[in-house]
Structure 1
Amino acid sequence: MTFRLMPIYRLGGWGAAASMVAICTLITLQVLFRLLDAVLVMAGSSRLGLEITGVSELASFLLVGATFLGMAYTFTHHAHIRMSLVIQRLPAAVRAFTELACLLIASALNALLCVSLWQLMQESLEYDDVSSGLLAIPLWIPQLVLLIGMVMMSLALTEALIDTARQALQAPQRFQAPDDEAGHD
Structure 2
Amino acid sequence: MVLTRHLFTFCGALAALSLLGIAALILAQIGLRLMGSQIPSADDFAAWGLSASIFLALPAALLHGDHIRVTSLRQLLPARLGHGADILAAGFATGMMAWVAWAIFGYVAESWTYNDVSQGIVAVPLWIPQSAMVLGSVLFALAFAERTLRLILGLPVERDDISEQARGE
Could you tell me the TM-score, scaled by structure 1's length?
A: 0.80
Aligned match of 1:172: none
Q: Which residue among 69, 77, 87 is the counterpart of 1:100?
A: 87
Runs of 4 or more, structure 1, over 4 Å off, are 175-178, 180-184
C-alpha separation in 1, matches of 2:98 and 2:76: 30
Q: Percent identity?
A: 28
Q: Distance in 2 between matches of 1:183 and 1:73?
A: 15
Instruction: State the partner residue of 1:24.
Output: 23
| Paired amino acid for 1:114 | A
Match of 2:112 in 1: 125
The number of residues matched between the two structures is 165
Report if aligned partners of 1:65, 1:146 keep a CA contact under 8 Å in 2. yes
RMSD between superposed Cα atoms in Å: 2.5
TM-score, normalised to structure 2, is 0.87
Q: Which has the larger radius of gyration?
A: 1
Equivalences for 1:31-180 in 2 at 5 Å? Answer: 31-35=30-34, 37=35, 49-167=36-154
In structure 2, the residue corresponding to 1:80 is in which secondary structure? coil
Residues 182 and 139 of structure 1: CA distance in aligned 2, closer, same or farther (over 3 Å): closer
The one-letter amino acid of 2:90's match is L
Residues 57-116 of structure 1: CA deviation (Å, up to 9, x unaligned):
100001111100111001100001111232123211111111111111111111111111
- Give, in whole Å, the separation in 2 of the partners of 1:159 and 1:182: 13
The CA distance in 2 between the partners of 1:128 and 1:64, in whole Å, is 20
Give the gaps of 5 or more residues in structure 1.
Answer: 38-48, 168-174
**Contact 2:150 2:156 (C-alpha < 8 Å) held by counterparts:** no
Q: Which runs of 5+ in 2 are unaligned?
A: 165-169
